[in-house]
C-alpha cells in the first residue's frame, strides 16, 4: 500500500536500491516467513525436506509479490514528480513511503491503483505459467500459489477503505469532489472501519453462524489483520480531523516577516532589524538563521566587520515549508514535525514569506 504520510527514516535491512530508493526488508517480515514455512511444513509432513523447500519458495514468492506491488507505487510516485523515501516489506505486507506535499487527487489515485493492478497482472502471468508445467511439481505448485496470492492481494487491496489502496481511491475521489483533503481522509477512514467489520463478519462470524468452525490459527490471523485495518482507518480519521484544525489558520497569519541575508553580509544588517534574520546560500535557498541573542554577543564596533555567517545557525534540511500565503497550516506543521525545530521558514516559489513558530501556529488555531 502507499503510505503518503511517513517520514524519511525507517528501520530495516536494505536489500537493494532502485533509482536511489532503498528497498528494505523489515525484521517483522522474518516472522511472516517463519509462519508461512511452519504452515506449509505442517500440511506437508510426509514430504520431509521437500516441505521446507516448498515453504521457503512460498514465502519468497509472497515477498516478490509484495515488492512488485510496492515497486509499482514507487515508480508511479516518482513518475508524477513525488519524492519516494523507501519501499518496505514487513509483517503486514509492505508499504511505500513518499512525500505527498505536491500530490493531487489524480496523482494520489494513480499511485494507489497501480499496486493492485500490478498484482492482478502478476496473477495472470503466474496462472498462464501453471499451464506450462506439471501441477504436482515444485514449479507448478509455486506458480499456483503465486497466482492465488496475487489475486488475493490485488482484490483485497481494492476494498474501499483506508489503509488499503481502495481507501486511497475513496480519499482521492472525495478530495476531488470537495476540494478538501481532510474530508477525503475522514470519509476513507470511516469506509475503512466498515470494510474491517465486513471482513470479520465474512471470514469469522459467517462460518460460525453456518455451523462451521474456523481454526484457531485462521481466527488469530484474521484478528491481527482486522486490528491493523482498524488502526489504519482510525489513524486516517484522526489525521483528517487534525487537518481540519490546521485549516482554521493561514500561512499569512503565522508567517513573521524577516530580513533575508547572505552569509557574506555584515552583522549590522541583521542588528538593524532586531538581530533576527534568515541566511540563504548562493542559490537563494534558506539554510540558516541569526538569532538576536547571538547578535548581542558581538561588540557594537564589530557589527560592520563581522559576517552573518560567523553567527548563523545551520538548520535541518526539512525546515523549509513550501506553501503559499493563502494556504492552511498543513505544510508548516509538517515542516515543524520533520525538522524537529520550533521555528521553520515558509517559502513560496523560492521566495521567503517569513518565519513560522510553534507558538504562532498554536495561537492561530486557538484564535479560530
For 299-352, give the DSSP string.
-GGGTTTSBGGGT-EE--TT-EEE--TTS-SHHHHHHHHHH--SEEEEEETTEE
pLDDT, average across residues 269-298: 90
Q: What pLDDT score does 248 carry?
A: 81
- DSSP bridge partners of 345: 320, 355
Which range has the worst mean pLDDT, 91-95, 165-169, 248-252?
Answer: 91-95
- For the chain, which residues make up each domain, given as ranges? 2-158, 179-246, 251-367
Q: What pLDDT score does 7 carry?
A: 46
Pairing of strands 313-314, 286-290: antiparallel
Residues 345, 321: contact at Cβ < 8 Å? yes
pLDDT, average across residues 165-174: 98
251-367 is classed CATH 3.10.580.10: yes
Residues 271, 303: contact at Cβ < 8 Å? yes
Q: What pLDDT score does 2 carry?
A: 66
Which range has the worst mean pLDDT, 7-11, 190-194, 294-298?
Answer: 7-11
180-204 pLDDT, tens per residue? 999 999 999 999 999 999 999 998 8
300-314 pLDDT, tens per residue? 999 999 999 999 999
Q: Extract the C-alpha cell encoding 311.
A: 553567527
What residue has cell string 470519509? Answer: 187
276's enclosing H/E stretch is: none
Residues 265, 305: contact at Cβ < 8 Å? no
Beta strand segments in 62-187, E: 84-90, 93-98
Would you state the torsion angle of the CA atoms of residues 261, 264, 268, 274, taken in this order, to the nearest 10 degrees?
30
Residue 20: band (very low, low, confident or very high) from pLDDT cuts 50, 70, 90: confident
49-64 pLDDT, tens per residue? 888 999 999 999 999 9
Whether the bond between 163 and the residue before it is cis, its omega within 30 degrees of 0, is yes
pTM: predicted TM-score of the whole model, two decimal places: 0.78
Amino acid at each position: 500500500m502507499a503510505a503518503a504520510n511517513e517520514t524519511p527514516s525507517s528501520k530495516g535491512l536494505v536489500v537493494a536500491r532502485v533509482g536511489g530508493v532503498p528497498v528494505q526488508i523489515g525484521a517483522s517480515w522474518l516472522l511472516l516467513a517463519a509462519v508461512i514455512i511452519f504452515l506449509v511444513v505442517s500440511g506437508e509432513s510426509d514430504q520431509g525436506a521437500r516441505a521446507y523447500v516448498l515453504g521457503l519458495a512460498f514465502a519468497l514468492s509472497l515477498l516478490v509479490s509484495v515488492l512488485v506491488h510496492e515497486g509499482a507505487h514507487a515508480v508511479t510516485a516518482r513518475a508524477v514528480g513525488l519524492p519516494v523515501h523507501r519501499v518496505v516489506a514487513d509483517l503486514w505486507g509492505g508499504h511505500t513511503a513518499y512525500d505527498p506535499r505536491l500530490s493531487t487527487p489524480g496523482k494520489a489515485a494513480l499511485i494507489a491503483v497501480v499496486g493492485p493492478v500490478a498484482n492482478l497482472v502478476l496473477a495472470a502471468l503466474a496462472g498462464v505459467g501453471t499451464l506450462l508445467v506439471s501441477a504436482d511439481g515444485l514449479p507448478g505448485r509455486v506458480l499456483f500459489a503465486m497466482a492465488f496470492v496475487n489475486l488475493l492481494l490485488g482484490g483485497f487491496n481494492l476494498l474501499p477503505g483506508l489503509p488499503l489502496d481502495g481507501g486511497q481511491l475513496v480519499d482521492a475521489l472525495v478530495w476531488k469532489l470537495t476540494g478538501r483533503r481532510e474530508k477525503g481522509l475522514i470519509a476513507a477512514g470511516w469506509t475503512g472501519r466498515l470494510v474491517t467489520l465486513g471482513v470479520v463478519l465474512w471470514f469469522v462470524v459467517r462460518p460460525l453462524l453456518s455451523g462451521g468452525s474456523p481454526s484457531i490459527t485462521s481466527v488469530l490471523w484474521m484478528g491481527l489483520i482486522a486490528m491493523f485495518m482498524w488502526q489504519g482507518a482510525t489513524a486516517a480519521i484522526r489525521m483528517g480531523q487534525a487537518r481540519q484544525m490546521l485549516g482554521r489558520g493561514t500561512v499569512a497569519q503565522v508567517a513573521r516577516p524577516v530580513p533575508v541575508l547572505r552569509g557574506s553580509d555584515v552583522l549590522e544588517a541583521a542588528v538593524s532589524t532586531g538581530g533576527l534574520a534568515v541566511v540563504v546560500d548562493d542559490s537563494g535557498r534558506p539554510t540558516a538563521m541569526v538569532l538576536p541573542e547571538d547578535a548581542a554577543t558581538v561588540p557594537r564596533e564589530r557589527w560592520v566587520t563581522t559576517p552573518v555567517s560567523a553567527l548563523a545557525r545551520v538548520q535541518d534540511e526539512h525546515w523549509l515549508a513550501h506553501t503559499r500565503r493563502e494556504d492552511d497550516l498543513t505544510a508548516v506543521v509538517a515542516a515543524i514535525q520533520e525538522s524537529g525545530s520550533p521555528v521553520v521558514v515558509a517559502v513560496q516559489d523560492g521566495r521567503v514569506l517569513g518565519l513560522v513558530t510553534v507558538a504562532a501556529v498554536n495561537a492561530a488555531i486557538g484564535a479560530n
